Amino acid sequence: MPRLSEQIVKQLRADGYRITTPRRWVIKTLCESDRHLTVEQIHECLEEADIRVDEATVYRTLQWLKECNYVAQTDIGQGAYVYCLIGDHPHHHLVCLKCNKSIQVDNDVFDSLRRDLMAQHKFKARIDHFAIFGLCEECQDKD
């Protein structure tokens, strides 16, 4: 079983994309991280690996991966967009506005919304990594 990053590279090549060194490393960094990363954090990882590209290149690479449906770009209340691989099991976040806690939820919470949007607007929603802001249970109690 090839590693995830190699599978993605292989698929992108099969789709006719050119895989440059920065592209390969951005994919690798995202695959190997167990958390969501900002452009700045990905750039730092590349610098540590001695891959010299600027943040603008990292940003453009992420936009490209987003267009290819491999990466989600989300505001989860950290002051900058975070990026993560969508993968086979998408997840989403409930983010508390008071304590900043982030609760991970499964993809199926959006099934009825997806159905309604299709039925009412013929709109095929791409909800691949979503954040809903609100108040967590403890913070509601404090109100």
Measured CA to CA in angstroms, residue 59 lies from 12, 54, 82, 109 at distances of 18, 9, 11, 30
- Indicate the residue among 8 and 96 with the shorter CB distance to Zn ion: 96
What's the rounded Cα separation, in Å, for the pair 55 and 143? 41
CB of 91 to Zn ion, least distance (A): 5
Q: How far is the CB of 72 from Zn ion (least distance, A)?
A: 8
Please, which residue, 80 or 99, has the CB nearer to Zn ion?
99
Q: State the residues that interact with Zn ion by CB under 5 A.
A: 96, 98-99, 101, 136, 139
Shortest distance, position 95 Cβ to Zn ion, whole Å? 9
Least CB distance to Zn ion at residue 50 (A): 29
Question: Which CB atom, from 28 or from 92, has the smaller least distance to Zn ion?
Answer: 92
Q: Where are the beta strands (DSSP E) in 17-90?
A: 71-74, 82-85
First to last CA, the chain: 51
Q: Which residues pair with 74 in a beta bridge?
A: 82
Q: Which is nearer to Zn ion, 22 or 90 (CB)?
A: 90
